[in-house]
């Protein structure tokens, strides 16, 4: 049994199998997931688990060099944007229309669904390297 980090076996396996510049996505309970994209559903109830809690857990094991967020988060959920920037202060941020972010989920290794109930609480993490 693992001592630290991600204990969810599906998430741990996805992160372990990623290479440089691969994508992993985390999002709110309402985000539509394209057919063919692995969905790891953690949602238990409204706000359980939260988007931020899941993001923090994934970042224990995943090196991130760039993130992709919906342009709409700036106006529709600035509190969540501030929380993301606080957790990832030195990571490049690319803003894309929400419609594009939804399409880009098809390019991710997996989508982790949280119980988050705030708008535009979705992110694509681009993996970096640790050397």
Instruction: Cite the active site residues.
Output: 20
What does the alpha-carbon distance between residue 11 and residue 40 come to, in Å, rounded to a whole number?
7
Q: Which residue has the tokens 């440089």?
A: 20
Question: Does the bond joining 51 to the residue before it have cis omega, within 30 degrees of 0?
Answer: no
Q: Nearest-5° angle of CA 106, CA 47, CA 66? A: 40
Is residue 54 within 8 Å of residue 42, measured between CB atoms? Answer: yes
Q: Which two tokens stand for residue 96?
A: 């894309």
């Amino acid at each position: 049994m693992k001592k630290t980090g991600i204990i969810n076996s599906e998430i741990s396996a996805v992160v372990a199998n990623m290479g440089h510049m691969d994508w992993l996505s985390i999002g709110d309970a309402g985000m539509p997931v394209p057919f063919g994209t692995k969905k790891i559903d953690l949602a238990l109830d409204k706000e359980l688990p939260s988007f931020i809690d899941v993001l923090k857990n994934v970042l224990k094991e995943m090196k991130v060099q760039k993130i992709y967020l919906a342009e709409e988060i700036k106006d529709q959920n600035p509190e969540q944007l501030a929380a993301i920037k606080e957790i990832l202060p030195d990571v490049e941020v690319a803003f894309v229309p929400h419609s594009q972010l939804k399409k880009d989920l098809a390019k991710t290794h997996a989508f982790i669904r949280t119980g988050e109930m705030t708008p535009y609480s979705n992110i694509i993490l681009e993996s970096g390297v640790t050397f």
